[in-house]
Structure 1
């Protein structure tokens, strides 16, 4: 059941986001747009409540519970970036806004963009692992929370690898090909 809630929340996020941007740029209704855009991240509260209620039922924490924590962490860590990304493209496509800037591919600007993305990943990891940790402490039974701990360990490894790659561009910036 929790997988269905995760999927519904993801769909809800994008529905509210697109509805908010449509209200802003197509209908020119800024107040309605603000309400709809505020509801996009508010969908995460539904997932949080559903997860807590499911865990309070007494069963063992499972992969869907871990995915819910990861989803909520990613939503917090990357949500603002996703909203800005969609807003820039929607404004360009439907409201005559400027073309979205392309991601820098070389040099110091590329290194800064990579560090910025890693910091967003770090925020996502911190929120997600905090939720995983809270669930582990709240349940208080290592046998019932093993999947949560393993998820936190795996995500930590992914974060470290991402950090090594992202920060390597600061140490050695990616050079533009000759002739560009």
Structure 2
């Protein structure tokens, strides 16, 4: 199962790189877009393999939960990652503008962190929903009990991200003051 998840993660980045390479390197925009549309297929393959493994009699362990988590985070963060990679590829391969990173200071940074928290919350909720669906589909609580540890784990992940977002709101990072030029 771990091998499948690693292959899925590698597959995600390979398909993304190939799609962006076609789009910007070879100027084949439609072919590149077609490859990028295939990115969710990687998630479906991992999810289907997880369900098939468990329905085939496997006893759930942490790897099955990891597969659900991978899919949840891929769905929640996938568009953000593709847009980030697209901006960098356009800059490096097609003389596009240099992509701007996330804001570094003040309210803008806090707002960015809250958007990241929202993505993490969606990812955690999807993970929990997928685990519950897998447990329901398998229908054998004894074989899927190993997935129960993922419920508090996803709450912890969301809680940590909540704390990070709240800290940027309560203690906003201030832009450094310009130091006067001291010339002799």
Which TM-score bucket, shorter chain as reference?
over 0.9
TM-score by length of 2: 0.91
C-alpha distance in structure 2 between counterparts of 1:79 and 1:96, whole Å: 24
Give the stretch that moved more between structures: 142-151 or 8-17: 142-151
Find the counterpart in structure 1 of residue 151 from structure 2.
Answer: 152
Aligned residues: 179
- Give the superposition deviation at 1:141: 3.7
Matching of residues 139-178 of structure 1 within 5 Å: 139-178=138-177
Gaps of 5+ in 2: 180-184
- State the partner residue of 1:124: 123
> What displacement does 1:161 show?
2.1
Q: CA deviation at 1:13?
A: 1.0
Provide the rounded CA distance (Å) in 1 between the counterparts of 2:140 and 2:49: 20
- The structural deviation recorded for 1:119 is 0.8
Distance in 1 (alpha carbons) for counterparts of 2:167 and 2:145: 33
17-26 or 164-173: bigger deviation = 164-173
Computing the radius of gyration from Cα coordinates, the structure with the larger value is: 2
Bigger CA drift: 100-109 or 159-168? 159-168
Provide the residue aligned with 2:88 in structure 1: 89
Cα deviation, residue 146, structure 1 = 2.7
1:73 aligned residue: 72
Alpha carbons 2:124, 2:157 under 8 Å: kept: no
Q: Secondary structure at the match of 1:58?
A: coil
Tell me how large the CA RMSD over aligned residues is: 1.5
Aligned pairs for 1:17-96 (under 5 A) are 17-96=16-95
Q: CA deviation at 1:133?
A: 1.1
Distance 1:20 1:142 in 2: 41
- Provide TM-score, normalisation by structure 1: 0.93
SS in 1 for 2:115: helix
1:112 aligns with 2:111: yes
- Partner deviation per Cα, 1:122-178 (whole Å, 9 max, x = no partner): 111111110011122233444322321111211211211211221232244222233
Give the gaps of 5 or more residues in structure 1: none
- Aligned partners of 2:19 and 2:35 also within 8 Å: yes
